[in-house]
Amino acid sequence: MSMKTRRQFLKQSTVLTAGLFIIPENFFVKQAPIGVQLYTLRNEVAKDPVDTITRVARLGYKQIETYGYKDRKWFGLSVDEFNKLLKENDLSSPSGHTYGGQYFLEPNWEEGWKTAVADAKAIGQEYIVVPWLDQKFRSIEHYKQLTDQLNKAGTIAQQSKLKLAYHNHDFEFADQSGQNGLDILMRGTDKSLVHFELDIYWATKAGHDPIALFNQYPGRFAMWHVKDMDNTPEKKFTEVGNGVIDFTTIFKHAKKSGMQYFFVEQDQCPGSPFDSIQTSITNLKERILK
């Protein structure tokens, strides 16, 4: 190598090395696969899960979050059938909504939970999620009881190298004599055993700033539901990027939150949910994560 060539090489190497230290904080978020929670397409997936999931992949989604686990199947598909469907469409399912919180407040839940954990692991899921808490179990005392049970459920999941997460709605933020359910769950659960999936729409509707929650509980929100709110008094669901939630800014705080995965979700769509999730992924790619 000539002296001139060597100098050019060293100069280029210095520039490249320096570049490694100025990577934007949200660089890795921009590269992250975009997922969708299949509950958005619940009517379609109930009729034809194979066609629905195939169409989701064609829209550019790389990950799906399941729901509706029943009798050791998802939408009537066995573990082997579901794995085959994922592989054929170059999809993965890192997370699945399984049993509501009330399940863990009933007796003898452990064996059924172990089976669910085994099945989640068999389709490659990393997180098994508690998606809901029945209205009968939302008192402060119930939340306190639930923290103990979630720690136990998280231990069982961890033994199979899975992680337990709890998904919020707005009711966890309801004030009950100066306390609320989310704070009790956060403070009462072991952070190494119980993670959280922040539904950004529901937190916002409850009057809470997601970024403030990240700062209050750093590293606890391993997953997000990316769901937007329209600019009407009713605060209806809308496509990501079409509403009032500032996702561009929120995504800049992904590292602080501990977020590993995020899923588009829209509980109600004005027309075809395929049109809605196509709008959401387009807005994410072209504006929010750009």
CA–CA dist 164, 230 (Å, integer) = 31
Is the pLDDT reported for residue 24 higher than 90?
Answer: no
Beta bridge partners of 35: 63, 263
- pLDDT score of 5 more than 70: no
* Interatomic CA distance for residues 62 and 32, integer angstroms: 9
> How many CB atoms neighbour CB 184 within 10 A?
19
What value, to the nearest 5°, has the Cα angle with vertex 133 and ends 131 and 135? 145
Q: pLDDT class for 143, splitting at 50, 70, 90?
A: very high
Average pLDDT over residues 102-112: 97
Does 200 score more than 60 pLDDT?
yes
* Residue 230 one-letter amino acid: D
Query: Using alpha carbons only, what angle is made at residue 241 by residues 97 and 202, rounded to the nearest 5 degrees?
Result: 40
CA torsion angle for 281, 282, 286, 290 (degrees, to 10)? 0
Domains of the chain: 26-288 (3.20.20.150)
Place of tokens 């055993």: 193
Pairing of strands 69-70, 127-130: unpaired
Strands 228-229 and 237-238: antiparallel
Helix/strand/coil for 246: coil
Strands (E), 15-148: 35-37, 63-66, 69-70, 73-74, 92-97, 127-130
Point out which residues pair with 229 in neighbouring strands. 237
What is the per-residue pLDDT across 211-232, written as a single tens digit (0 to 9) for each? 999 999 999 999 999 999 999 9
% of residues, the chain, pLDDT over 70: 90
Cα–Cα distance measured from residue 96 to residue 10, given in angstroms and rounded to the nearest whole number = 49
- Specify the pLDDT at position 15: 46
pLDDT(36) > 80:
yes
